[in-house]
Amino acid sequence: MPDNAFVALTHSSTLRRLLYEALAALGLDPTDTYRQAYAGVALAAPLLEAREEHDNAPRFWQALEGITGDADIGLHLGEVMQPRPMDVVGYLLLAARDVRQGLQAFVRFQHILSGGFAARLEEQGEEARLVIDLNYREVGSLRQQMECLAVLLSKMLASAAGGELPLLGVEFRHLAPRRLVEHRRLLGVEPRFAQPHDVLILPRVLLSRPSRSASPRLFEVLSEEAERQLAELVENQLLARVRYWLELNLGRATCSLQACAQALGSNRSALQRALSEQGSSFRALHDEVRRLRALRLLDQGQDMRDVARACGFAELSPFYRAFRRWQGGTPRGLVARHGATGE
């Protein structure tokens, strides 16, 4: 494989190194596994304008089960990965005052690890929900990757907290596999599948657990470095940032040009002008994110009204009109399930 054809599986050299080490620990040659996953594929092809580097990862994760013969390869990779800090985000987790501050730093600087992250921390009642979605264009959630990440992150959080960090639950966007024995063994709970997001659910009280390695001054220095790295990321370009904001807020809040501009530290006119200079518009990006989410949720067999709400539509009629525009007509599946009128 020519050096100039190499495509990283993730933005983060840390995650990439952990992945390669884990493959080796399971007796798999990382380079050979990579070659098999991309056999017969022109690796330069995905590097089209406006594609993110992380968009090249799906083929690897989709091929991994077939290459290894292990239906639970993602879980087993996460099991052997060592959750040691090797980048600024990992060290921020250790230097944080408590688990909450560490997770807030993880969410703030998530794109240092991957341009595809759409992570957030939600505190609801007695639960803390860490959403760990990774999004790829025109690809739904990848089972092996997300199960690997769930095991790895749960170990990282336990390490940063200086002890056990029991999960109350785990939710995945992908469909349930046939066997759940390894899920229960490695996650400590039986996950729920075909959910709207990939989520680790923790007892909210544990967010206040002090870190044994807390260092306020070091946390401040690391935060400044993380801000610098975040600003330099190619993945933090305008179109990607707007897409990520839309993915986070779609179906949960008003996804307006004004709200997005405010979130990005800009104003309506400036954002509109900047998107135009990139050959795009807020409406076009909004439609793109809505369309991809709708297709993914419909593929999972979710109810039409739930899909419409998750895509930010208050009623079914505008959702059907939008779908006709996206697809050039009413999809056969919608007609079969809901009638020609969409009722």
What confidence score (pLDDT) does residue 165 get? 80
Angle between helices 73-80 and 13-25 (to 10 degrees): 100
User: pLDDT band for position 55 (50/70/90)?
Assistant: low
pLDDT above 70 covers what percent of the chain?
A: 85
Does the pLDDT of residue 234 top 70, yes or no?
Answer: no
> For 44, what's the count of Cα atoms within 13 Å in the CB-facing half-sphere?
5
pLDDT above 90 covers what percent of the chain?
A: 43
What is this structure's pTM? 0.69
* Dihedral of the alpha carbons of 38, 40, 44, 48, in degrees to the nearest 10: -90
What confidence score (pLDDT) does residue 338 get? 46
Query: Over the stretch 101-115, which tens digit does the pLDDT of each residue have?
Result: 999 999 999 888 877
Tell me the pLDDT of the chain averaged across its residues: 83
Tokens of 77: 């990779």
Strands of 169-171's sheet, edge to edge? 117-124, 127-134, 199-203, 169-171
According to DSSP, the residues that pair with 192 across neighbouring strands are: 171
* Dihedral of the alpha carbons of 174, 70, 27, 42, in degrees to the nearest 10: -60
